[in-house]
Structures are given as C-alpha cells and as structure tokens.
Amino acid sequence: MIRFDVVSCCALTALVMAGAPVLRAQADTAKLAPIVVTAAEPLHVLGHLPRVRNNVIYAGKKTEVILMDSVRANIARDIERQILGRIPGASFSETQGAGFPSNGVGFRGLDPTQSVEMHTQQNGVSIAADLFGYPETYYTPPSEALERIEVVRGAGSLAFGPQVGGALNYVVRSGQPHTSPTITLHQSGGSHGLANSFSALSGGRDMWTYYGFVHLRNEEGWRPNSDYRQVTAYGSARAQLTEKLGVSLEYTRHRNRIHMAGGLSDDQFAADASQSFRARNWLASPWSVAAARATLDVTRNVRLESVLSYLDSDRHLVWRNEDGGPAAPDAGEPRELERETFKNWMLESRLRVDHRLLGRAATLATGVRGGLNNMRRFEGAEGSTSGDFDMRIYGADWERALKFRTTNAAVFAEDLVSLTTRLSIAPGVRWEHVRSTASGYTDVASTFEPRTYSYPLLGIGAQYITTGTTELYANASQAYRPVLYASLTPFGSVTGVDPDLHASRALNTDLGWRGTVRNRLKFDVGAFYLWYRDRIGTVAEPSGATLHANVGDSEHRGVETYLEVDPLPGMDVFASMAYVDARYVSGEFEGNRVELAPRVLARGGLTWSVKWLSSTIQVSHTSSSFGDASNATVPTDDAVAGSIPAYSIADWSGRARIDARRELTFGVNNVTNVRYFSKRTGEYPGPGILPGAARSAYAGIGLRF
C-alpha cells in the first residue's frame, strides 16, 4: 500500500497531465510495506489530457486541464477569468452579477454567453438545459468541489457531440479507497456582503468510496438590486463489486434566487456603472442532475462504460420586460412571467478496445448515445405589481405556451493507430440523428413542422513525438449546431421564421506544438482555423420586418500561445495570448467582424510560493469587440448595438498554510477598480449594458479533519 498526502497527489496528477510516463500495474503483484511520499506544493496549473483516458481518445486534439489544487483564485466567487484564464483564447461573459446564474466561456470568437457554444458537462454528464434546443448553462458546480476542469476544443465534436466550441467538463472530487472519513470546511466572506460556506465529506471502506458536499453562497451585490442566494448539494457513491465491475451513483441539487439589476444605456453606464433602474426583476433556476454509471473490464484489452443520466430543471423569471429598452422607466406596472421546464434523459455507452494494427499498438474507441429531451416554455402571463419574487398569475394568462420534444441517436468511432514509434493518427466518424417537434400556441409567427437532421461528422487527428517531452499535434473535425428553439419562436410580433431555416455546419482545424523543457518551461503554441457555415441570426426585410434565417458564413482564424516558466524555486511565471480574426465572409454582414469576438485576449501572471505562503497576481486584457453583427459603434435604439470597449483587469489572490489541516485564503479582485462590461443584451436579464463587477476583497479559512 502507498499513501499519498494531498500535495503529493496533486504533484503526481500534474505529471500525468503533462504527459510524463506512468508505469502500469502488472498481473503479478506483491504486498509492500506502507510508505509516505511527500512533495513540494505544485505550481503548474495547466496541463493536457493524455493520448487516451478511460474510453476517449485525445491524441491529436487541442486539450487543456486546469488542476484546481494548484489554482490561486477567488473560488469563493467562482471568478472564471482567474480559474480558466490561463487557457489561450478563452473569452468570458462576465454577467453573473447582472442576473445570469453563472458566467459563460467561449473560444475562438464564439459566443461566450452561458457557454452556449460549448458542450458543458459535470463528470462527463451534460448539465446544459437542452443540448439540441437550448444549450445554455444555468448551473456549474462550485470550484471548491472540483478536482480539475477539462477542455477539448472543437475537435471534441466526434467524441462528445455536435457543439462547435467543443467540450467543457467539470470533474468533481471523489472519495479515495481505504481512507477514514475526512471532513473539509471552508468559510469565506468579503465585499458586497459575500458569505460563502463549503462543507464536504469523503472516504472509502471495503469496496465503497464516497464523496459529498453542501455549498451555500449569499451576496448583496455591488449594484443595488443584485443580491442573490444559492445552495448546492451533491453526493456520490462508488462500489467496486468485483475486480472487473464497478458501479456508481451521483446526484446534484442546485437551488437559487437572483435579483436582477438590469442593463444600462451608454449614457447611464458612463455616468455611474453601479446604478440600477430595475428593482423588481427576479430569476430562479432550480437544477437537478442524476447519473448512474457502470464500468466493466471485459478483458485485459476491452473496457465498457455506460452512463444513464437525467436532468430535471426549471427556469422561473418575473420581470419588467425588455419593452422600451434600458431607458424605459419601471413605473410599477404588472410584471411579466416566464417559465421553462427541462426533463432530459440520456443513455451513453462507450467501448474501448486495445488491439494491434499494422504490427503496432492501436486503440479503438466507439460508442452509442440515445437521448430524449422535453422542454416546456410559458411566456407573457401577467404577474404582480409588487417587488418580491412572485410567480403567480394575477391577470392575463400565458401568451405563449409551447412544448418542444427532441430525440437524438448517435454512433461514433475513432481508432488511434501508431504508424511509427513517433507518429500516430486517429481518424474518426460520428453519425447524428436529431428529430425536433413543437406544439402549442404563440402570438409570434412561428413554425411547428417537425425537423429532422441526419448526417455524419468526420475528423482526423495526428500526433508526432518530437522529443521525450514535446509533441506536434494536428486535427480537423466537422461539427454542427442545430436550430435552437429560440430561433423557432423568436421574441417580438414582427419577427418571423424563414421556412428554409436549417442547422449550421462547421469545420475546426488545429496545428500546434506543446510540451515541457527540463521541467522548467511549459509551452503550447498553435494556430487554428474555424469555418462556420450558415450561421443563424436576424436579418431585416424590405418591409421593415425582421426574419430569423441563415444569415451567412464566418471564418475564424488565429494563433494561441501559452508559456509557463519557473525561473527560480517557488516561482512560476505564465503568459497566455490569443489573436482571433473572426469575420463574416458571406451574407448581409460580409466583411464585418463577428459579434462578441475580441481580437486579442492576453493574460499574464506570477505565482510565488515559499514554505507556507503562496500568492498569485494576474493581469487580463480583452480588446474591443462589437455587440452585434452590424458592427455599430454608435448606440442606437437597439440595446445590443454598439461597441464593447477594451479593458484590462488585475486580480490578486493568496493562500497561507498554517499546518496540514488549516489554511487561510485571501485576495482582491479588479484591484484597480476598472469600469468595464463584456456584454450588451436586448432581452433577459434586462436590456442594455451589463456592467462587470467592481473591486472586491475576500478572505477565508479552511479546515480539514
């Protein structure tokens, strides 16, 4: 038996993520005397997924892994630009304090709002509202509960599904075999009324391991009318029934209530970004996710994994709606109600077969997936004139009551083949079948004809080992984006739907070089090209009406670089930079830049660690972008139109270890108190500019026993 303390486990994980060789256990084993392995606190935060993990092939793909035990960030508030900021090209929609339940992330000029272009997962299970009709993420697990975050760029479309941006997987911690029950507590407080509490229990006995947490967070908010509260509970249990068969269950329950401060006009933002003119807007998004998993080592070379998941969630909105834009006063008129429910089943089985091809080792990863998604949408009922969270109907009933149903079937396969001792390729194919139906009534010109899509997605990756610790990688993969429900039932009585509206297609390509040099320099330098065909948007007709249609193609190209160096013991310096040129190349907006696509995303920082104290300073720069595809620079009656100016933000965070069981955390976000924003919106959570959060400080204490 070998025992690892928390620090040494992180160090070993970092080595694996970096691609260091790991010895596999052989059939003949012997019981050894216990030993204790210790290691210095790991500084490296960013790693890469191995060639093959579990039943998924990652060779040749652009991947990143964030190791949470190495992150120095404000995890009490889940500040994404600190947690995911080292990933080159990550763009964030920093709207959490404005009414969105969580900030979003996007890559390579794709819309970051609610991570709508990503396939967002928790432990490999989808947590988005509806992957094929409403792929927004209203829940993400608290950072304190995470072991790591895995990112696969657009090439993830073959293994995980159709989303153009790729896959984002939040991996929750798990219990360790043969360990006594361990309790972890972390209490934090900070500016703007922040109160954060995290409690976890983990352990393992005999064939069982278990992990669970309860997370509570309340905050008054830095703007008036921006207070929120949330509670998340999670539990998982795994049983290794035999040497070959393991089963597990997990359940997540998330509840929240968010006061939405609304958006601002350009003049209002310039006068005072902290003001709010909406006091009666509220959102709640109760989220529940359950999963049952089984893994079977059929033989030494064959492994089968199956997951059955169920998402049962809601979205409740009571607000003074978008009519009139941000300048329209909230005069106490009856509020509007909206409610959506999501009930999604998904069953996925993956089979991995290690075999030999052309006289060399090869790995086949294949699988099937079936899903049934049911969404109900109710909009336009008349609510109360009060200011509290009240979802009761007081006047007119629902203007729109719709039911959407999507069935999905997919089969996929990739084969990793070693052509030489250094060169390997991984061709793959995925076949998707999606059928969507809609029924109900609406006051908006819409179409309820069933829509069916069936087509293959092709891809191929390649990996060439240049040295023992560096490699070249290349990939080309197709993806698609289905017609979303919002496109079938748009806002506004003058907006119609093009009867020829169809899904968008995409091609993602990567070419890069990554690795480490003498364990002091870590790098990943690459170029990408993304072709996005038949993007869906809103176009103006000669009559003055607007139409949801396929507006044109866009091309996204650029470079992404990451450098990390340890110049001195206990010191780590990193620089992450991306240049993205995203433009429309056909249609009404030909030649214009894609909306919400800053050209330059640059972040750099320094981590310093000595004995019991470690600290990180990070500076993030985001260049200017546009709110919509027209590239308007002067604000208009459309709350979305206008520029989004460039901004730079500095964050500082640290940790002091008192001993092995006690630690202190502290820091300051937005140190220089920059006034900035990353999004304009014409609708929810209130039209106009959604300001980014002002300066805030926090401190916390962690206990483990």
Q: What's the confidence (pLDDT) of residue 540?
A: 64
- Cα–Cα dist 141/589, whole Å: 38
- Lowest average pLDDT, out of 79-83, 246-250, 305-309, 371-375, goes to 79-83
Residue with the larger pLDDT of the pair 45 and 573: 573
pLDDT digit string, tens, across residues 335-382: 999 999 999 999 999 999 999 998 899 999 999 999 999 999 999 999
- Cα–Cα dist 66/131, whole Å: 24
Average of pLDDT values for 73-81?
A: 88
pLDDT band, residue 29 (cuts 50/70/90): very low
Task: Dump strand ranges (E) for 637-683.
Answer: 643-644, 647-659, 662-669, 677-681
Q: How much of the chain, in percent, has pLDDT values that exceed 90?
A: 71
Quickly count: other Cβ atoms within 10 Å of residue 421's Cβ: 8
Residue 17: pLDDT above 50?
Answer: no
Average of pLDDT values for 392-405?
A: 93
* Both tokens assigned to 606: 């320094």
- Torsion angle (degrees, nearest 10) of CA 150, 151, 156, 160: 40
pLDDT digit string, tens, across residues 199-223: 999 999 999 999 999 999 999 999 9
pLDDT band, residue 13 (cuts 50/70/90): very low
Q: What's the confidence (pLDDT) of residue 482?
A: 84
640 HSE (CA, 13 A, CB side): 14
Phi, psi dihedrals of residue 624, rounded to the nearest 5°: -70, 160
Residue 448: pLDDT above 90?
Answer: no
- Cα–Cα dist 124/53, whole Å: 12
Residue 40: pLDDT above 90?
Answer: no
Residue 146 burial class via C-beta count within 10 angstroms: exposed 0-12, middle 13-18, buried 19 and up: buried
Q: Which residues contact 587 (CB under 8 A, 6 or more apart)?
A: 535, 539, 550, 551, 552, 553
Q: What's the confidence (pLDDT) of residue 10?
A: 43
Quickly count: other Cβ atoms within 10 Å of residue 523's Cβ: 17
Residue 24: pLDDT above 50?
Answer: no
Q: What's the confidence (pLDDT) of residue 548?
A: 73
178 HSE (CA, 13 A, CB side): 4
DSSP assignment letter at 28: S
Average of pLDDT values for 548-571?
A: 92
Residue with the larger pLDDT of the pair 152 and 494: 152
Q: How much of the chain, in percent, has pLDDT values that exceed 70?
A: 90
Q: Which fold has domain 2-282+292-298+307-329+347-704?
A: Maltoporin; Chain A (2.40.170)
Q: What's the confidence (pLDDT) of residue 670?
A: 96
- Lowest average pLDDT, out of 267-271, 311-315, 465-469, 518-522, goes to 518-522
Residue 442: pLDDT above 50?
Answer: yes
pLDDT digit string, tens, across residues 266-300: 999 999 999 999 999 999 999 999 999 999 999 99
* Both tokens assigned to 518: 């003498």
Query: Mapped to the 3 state alphabet, what secondary structure does 482-541 carry?
Result: CCCHHHHCCCCCCEEECCCCCCEEEEEEEEEEEEEECCCEEEEEEEEEEEEEEEEEEEEC
Largest CA distance in the chain: 82
Residue 647 near residue 655 (C-beta atoms within 8 A): no
Residue 30: pLDDT above 70?
Answer: no
- Cα–Cα dist 282/703, whole Å: 35
Q: What's the confidence (pLDDT) of residue 21?
A: 40
Residue 34: pLDDT above 70?
Answer: no
Q: Identify the CA nearest to 84 among candidates 99, 98, 74.
A: 74
Residue 28: pLDDT above 50?
Answer: no
Q: What's the confidence (pLDDT) of residue 352?
A: 98
Residue with the larger pLDDT of the pair 485 and 620: 620
> What are the b/e assignments for 434-454, b being 16+ CB within 10 Å?
bebebebebebbbbbeebebe
Q: What's the confidence (pLDDT) of residue 16?
A: 41
Residue 118: pLDDT above 60?
Answer: yes
Residue 486: pLDDT above 50?
Answer: yes
